A = this chain, B = another copy of it.
Amino acid sequence: METYLKRRSELIAQDRALRPDHAIAKALSADEQKASEILRSIRASEDRTVWNGKLPVKHIHGPQQMFPGMEFLTARDSIVNTKLFDILSKMPKGGLLHAHLDATVRADVLLRLALEQPAMHVRMPSASLNASTLKTVLPEFRALPKNQWTTTGSITDAAYTPNTWVPIQNARSNFGAELGGSSGFDRWVIDALMIDPSEAYGTHNTTAKIWEKFQSTFSVSDGLIRFVPIWTQYVREFLLSSVEDGISYVEPRILFWFKYMVGEDGEENVPHRVWFQIYDRVLNEVKEELEKQGRDDEVIGSKIIYSTLRNVTCEELEWYLEDCLALKQEFPHLVAGFDLVGHEDSLKPLIYYAEPLLKFVERQKELGVHIPFIFHAGETIGDGGVADMNLYDAILMGTQRIGHGFSIAKHPRLMEICREKGICIEICPISNEVLRLTGSMPMHPLPAILNHGVHVALCSDDPSVFGNMGLSFDFFQVFVASEVNTIATLREFVWDSIRFSSLDDTEKQYAFAALERRWTVFVNHVLDTYGESFGLESQ
Q: Which residues of A contact B (CB under 8 A)?
A: 1, 4, 7-8, 11-12, 14-15, 17-18, 52, 60-65, 67, 70, 202-206, 208-209, 351, 354-355, 358, 381-385, 392-393, 395-396, 409-414, 436-440, 442-443, 445, 447-448, 451-453, 481-484
Contact = CB atoms under 8 A, between A and B. Distances in A.
A1 B358 contact: yes
Stoichiometry, as copies per complex, reads: 2
A74 to B, nearest CB: 11
A396 B65 CA distance: 35
Given A1-B354, A354-B4, A381-B442, A11 B392 contact: yes
Contact of A443 (B60, B358, B443, B481): B443
Which of the listed residues A7, A15, A351 has the most CB atoms from chain B within 10 Å of its own CB?
A15
A219 to B, nearest CB: 21
Given A1-B358, A67-B206, A383-B483, 7 more contacts: A12-B392, A15-B413, A382-B442, A409-B448, A410-B451, A437-B443, A439-B443
Given A1-B358, A65-B209, A383-B481, A412 B8 contact: no
A383 B443 contact: no
B204 A65 contact: yes
Contacts of A448: 409-410, 445, 448
B482 A65 contact: no
A63 B65 CA distance: 22
A433 B7 CA distance: 34
A57 to B, nearest CB: 12
Nearest to A67: B206
A208 B65 contact: yes
Given A392-B11, A412-B15, A439-B439, A447 B383 contact: yes
A483 B384 contact: yes
A7 to B, nearest CB: 6
Contacts of A482: 383-384
Nearest to A439: B439
A485 B203 CA distance: 30
Contacts of A384: 482-484
30 contacts: A1-B358, A4-B354, A4-B358, A4-B396, A7-B396, A8-B351, A11-B392, A11-B395, A11-B396, A14-B413, A15-B411, A15-B414, A17-B413, A60-B61, A62-B203, A65-B206, A65-B208, A381-B440, A381-B443, A382-B483, A383-B481, A383-B482, A384-B482, A385-B483, A409-B409, A412-B451, A412-B453, A436-B439, A437-B443, A445-B448
Contacts of A70: 206
A381 to B, nearest CB: 4
A447 B355 CA distance: 30
A445 to B, nearest CB: 7
A383 B442 contact: yes
Nearest to A7: B396
A256 B64 CA distance: 36
Contacts of A438: 439, 443
A340 to B, nearest CB: 17
Contacts of A484: 383-384
Which of the listed residues A61, A203, A445, A448 has the most CB atoms from chain B within 10 Å of its own CB?
A448
A355 B439 contact: no
A206 B63 CA distance: 12
A11 B396 CA distance: 9
Contacts of A410: 447-448, 451
Contacts of A354: 1, 4
Nearest to A407: B447
Nearest to A380: B442
Contacts of A4: 354, 358, 396
Contacts of A445: 409, 445, 448
A387 to B, nearest CB: 11
A451 B11 CA distance: 22
Nearest to A69: B381
Contact of A65 (B1, B61, B205): B205
Contact of A61 (B8, B61, B208, B439): B61
Contacts of A440: 381
A60 B60 CA distance: 12
Contacts of A351: 8
A411 to B, nearest CB: 5
A354 B4 CA distance: 9
Contacts of A62: 202-203
Nearest to A381: B442
Contacts of A411: 15, 451
Contacts of A439: 436, 438-439, 443
Nearest to A453: B412
A208 B53 CA distance: 12
